[in-house]
Amino acid sequence: MEMAELTALLTPDGLRLLDALPAVESADDVARTVTRLRREGHSPDLVSAVVTQSRLRTRATAKFGPFAQRMLFTRAGLEQATRLPIAARHAGRFRDAGIARVADLGCGIGGDALGLAGLGLEVTAVDADEVTAAIAAYNLAPFGEAVTVAHGTAEDADLADVDAVWLDPARRTSGHSETRRTRPEDWSPSLDWVLALAARLPAGIKLGPGLERDLVPDDVEAQWVSADGSTIELVLWSRALARPGVRRAALVVRGDEAHELTAAGDAPDEGVRAIGAFLHEPDGAVIRARLIGEVARSLDAGMLDEHIAYLTSDAALTSPFVSSFRVRETMPVKVPAINAALRAQGIGRLEIKKRGIDVDPAQFRKKLTLRGDAEATLILTRVGAERVAILADRVSR
């Protein structure tokens, strides 16, 4: 969004027009709505702003629920924003640590600040982009004087009166739509600056889940977070915000439920064993946190292969940290053998998963013959030097 569009939108008439629009979801909806609004005499800037915001509000419902319908967004800001339920969980850690005043440095559209302010904390929110800071101010306005929003850089923020900081360094090039990833030394602020601040003040640092592990300091808690099956972020917690004795954590959120696995460090893996009655796929947060061994021991399971994150067991156990499958049969990754098994069992609906081998599931599906009313999961993987296909039934997600 350009400043001219935001200026046109942030008027009583502009906001009323936005709130009165029906949902704008498809390209056809966009074309019809633009044509109608221009015919009614609205300016090009205002038409562009309200149509864009209507589309973004629809998409934002997945992250912000009903709150999305009174918020404003940029495309990049929505993509990078923390989901509100996750932000609320992070905010709870600040509250539980007795922290009252937080600086949100790199606040974006204000998603994390919403979580903090919603739990009664005082928030100073700062963003280096003028349009984004203005949108954050609008989104956080309902909290009144409890939240202050400023346009400026994290490096220049006045932290004299805060107890802790939340940092979300810009890890992509600047812009409100298409952006690309940058290196840690080029982040804004840089990772070195962020970590130096976290050594002085209690901090939560939101980063991408794929951050190189040798960049994680030894004296922080590293918490990988997944939501509904996708690993979405890594948070580094320092000083009073880091839990005693915890250096690795995997937080798994599915719907309204959350489960967490914690440890003092990377967990040693269990040994490799032959394919048993069950196969387990650890959640991505568990894999990133290197806590697969902890989950394996809870399931009386072992590794399918020492280099591949699948577990196998004979015990009829599962956990919130894995997706579990009951094994029907195994065979080589050869289309005739797999098709024979599919035909014999009348499988017409097939989920295909793969790990450790170079196969495109979508292309592989085209080679398969699917007929019948039964359904199953086909897992393509490697055990040692052998490529193995495992036909299974999903037990849990």
pLDDT tens sequence across 159-188: 999 999 999 998 866 655 555 667 888 898
- What is the rounded distance in angstroms from the CA atom of residue 69 to the CA atom of residue 3? 21
Q: What is the pLDDT of residue 178?
A: 55
DSSP string computed for 74-103: -HHHHHHSPPHHHHHHHHHHHHHTT--EEE
pLDDT tens, position by position, 22-76: 888 888 889 999 999 999 999 999 999 999 999 999 999 999 999 999 999 999 9
pTM: 0.91
pLDDT reported for residue 84:
93
Convert the pLDDT of each residue in 100-151 to its tens digit: 999 999 999 999 999 999 999 999 999 999 999 999 999 999 999 999 999 9
Structure tokens at 4: 């001219």
The pLDDT score that the predictor gives to residue 256 is 85
Superfamily the domain 78-263 falls into: Vaccinia Virus protein VP39 (3.40.50.150)
Max CA separation in the chain (angstroms): 71
Percent of the chain residues topping a pLDDT of 90: 89
The tokens for 373 are 């009313």
Strands, sheet with 203-207, edge to edge from the N-terminal-most edge strand: 147-151, 122-127, 101-105, 164-167, 203-207, 230-237, 221-227, 248-254, 257-263
Q: What are phi and psi of 3, to 5 degrees?
A: -60, -35
Name 338's Cβ contacts closer than 8 Å, sequence gap at least 6. Answer: 331, 368, 378, 389, 391
SS3 content of the chain, % helix, strand, coil (to 5): 40, 30, 35
Q: What is the pLDDT of residue 26?
A: 85
| Amino acid 179: pLDDT | 58
pLDDT digits (tens, 9 = 90+) for 269-306: 999 999 999 999 999 999 999 999 999 999 999 999 99
